[in-house]
Structure 1
Amino acid sequence: MRPVLLAVLIALALPVVANAQTSKPTASSAIATALNDPARKADAANDERRKAADIIAFTEIKAGSRVLDLIPGGGYFSRAFSAVVGPQGHVYAVFPEAYEKAEPGFADKLREVAKQPHYANIEVLLQPANRLSVPAPVDMVFTSQNYHDYPDKFMGNVDPAVLNKQVFDALRPGGLFVIIDHAAEAGSGMRDTDTLHRIDPAIVKKQVEAAGFVFDGESNVLRHPADTRTKTVFDKSIRGQTDQFIYRFRKPAA
């Protein structure tokens, strides 16, 4: 191949490689239809703020997918995932027992939702924080603003290595682990998990990769560069505007 032609081909390919690490997938019509489900009327008011369409597209789930929503809180994403995966899919909403003691009532409320025929594909599970398991391998494990909690007292000081290994085991080969969390200062490691409820993105990436995952990309839709990362996420001046990272990790197919 002539040198000039080779250089042109390389130049054209470079932007594709760079963008693979900071992707913002276009939400499909199936996702739009799911989010417009009339049953989600109350949730829909928060879709733009929470970037639901972008995040769901980033998770790569589709009709028939099996999803594990780890510590779903009020169930916002569990209900959205339910609409996307449909009756042939399944959503395991997993609450650690320690979390249920600290934040009682969330699991029961989501169980009531799951009793509705419309949300029959949601299954609520209550488990020890250090014993994550599901009845069948899943396509995606998702946790939003919770990863930083595992090393802390109220969750039983669970080593993130234990969590990541169990997530790895819960996934099918090629499955995805998607983590959203509040960013702490670069180089801070896990210093701020209990005080500011933040975690250094770099330590998350290091810990998850150590479990055997391959980093598969990130989304910047919840980034807020004005956040100094030095205040607690509950500070009124920053709440709802914290700098959040979204990382996607893939379990190797073989």
Structure 2
Amino acid sequence: MKTQLLVAACAALALSAGAVEAKPGKHITAAVADAARPEADTRRDADRKPAEMLEFAGVKKGMKVADFIPGGGYFTRIFAKAVGPTGKVYAVTNPPPANAPNPPPIQAIAADPAYGNVQVVATGIASFALPEPVDVFWTSQNYHDLYLTRFNLDVPQADKAIFNAVKPGGTLVVLDHAAAPGAPVAETANTLHRIDPAAVRRNLEAAGFKYVGESKALANPADDHTKGVFDPALRGHTDQFILKFRKPK
């Protein structure tokens, strides 16, 4: 019995740490090295560790990937090159404001022939439906946005939409800025743009996902979780968690 417990503990440790230490595949390193990526993105690579993140997520050629709330498309471009021409990337976002003077950056990426496998799904982040289920559903530094007062979202509904978007056996990865353990979720999301990772896990397990493990690749013990993520003293170097979940088959 003790031996079985030891094996289980070692397996759990491997899931939480070992996977991110694996050497990224050549398709991932080539995607990160893509010469078409803007300098504004590439100069952030040392802090964001994109190759390690895609390896942890298990992104492979030919996969279907959802990039949820993609922002300027930092990861969208990398996903597009990593999955290759036989794969697909769905960028899930809110519709742009009717009076927006210019299209969102993610629309420009989807219109670029270099990223012809990117499709924008701009039907809303709480009630979207993808054209097909995906192998990997990814969100980076944005899950806490579901709690922003200005969006007034039904978070369990959004979590269920995410669950429905993933293939049975598929993977969900949530990367976000860590709040202090037990900190009120809505408060920290709106004031600090952080969220307690334990709250994220509770939400997604309630939606039907099974927790797999976590990566500590972006952890920063020097961050005491009291500053906002845009504070100049901390920006780009927050304590970040990366949780992996799987949809049961």
TM-based fold match above 0.5: yes
**Is it true that 1:27 corresponds to 2:24 in the alignment?**
yes
Distance 2:243 2:8 in 1: 23
TM-score computed with the length of structure 1 as normaliser: 0.88
Based on CA coordinates, which of the two structures has the bigger radius of gyration?
A: 1
Give the alignment of 1:43-192 within 5 angstroms: 43-97=41-95, 100-101=96-97, 108-155=104-151, 157-190=152-185, 191-192=187-188
Instruction: Name the SS of the counterpart of 2:16 in structure 1.
Output: coil
Q: Deviations over 1:66-106 (max 9, x none)?
A: 01101111101000000000000001111113xx449x678
1:111 offset after TM fit, Å? 2.0
- Unmatched 5+ stretches in structure 2: none
Read off the aligned partner of 1:220 and give its amino acid letter.
Answer: K
Ranges in structure 1 where 5+ consecutive residues have no aligned partner: none
Is contact 1:74–1:106 with CA below 8 Å preserved after alignment? no
Deviation string 1:193-231 (CA, Å, 9 cap, x unpaired) is 111111111111001000010001111111111001011
Corresponding residue number in structure 1 for 2:195: 199
Of 33, 41, 51, 1:36 maps to: 33
Counterpart amino acid of residue 74 in structure 2:
Y
Give the Cα–Cα distance (whole angstroms) in 1 for the partners of residues 6 and 245 of structure 2. 27
- Distance in structure 2 (CA, Å) of the matches to 1:14 and 1:246: 19
Residue 196 to residue 83, structure 1, CA distance change in 2 (3 Å): same
Contact 1:189 / 1:203 at 8 angstroms: preserved in 2? no
What SS does the corresponding residue of 1:181 show, helix, strand or coil? strand
| Paired residue secondary structure (2:160) | helix
Count of equivalent residues: 244
1:217 aligned to which of 201, 213, 217: 213
Shift, 1:36, TM fit: 1.7
Structure 2 Cα separation of the partners of residues 202 and 10 of structure 1: 24
* 1:100-151 deviation per Cα after TM superposition (whole angstroms, max 9, x unaligned): 449x678532222222221100111211232121111111111111111112
Check the 8 A contact 1:95/1:107 in 2, yes or no.
no
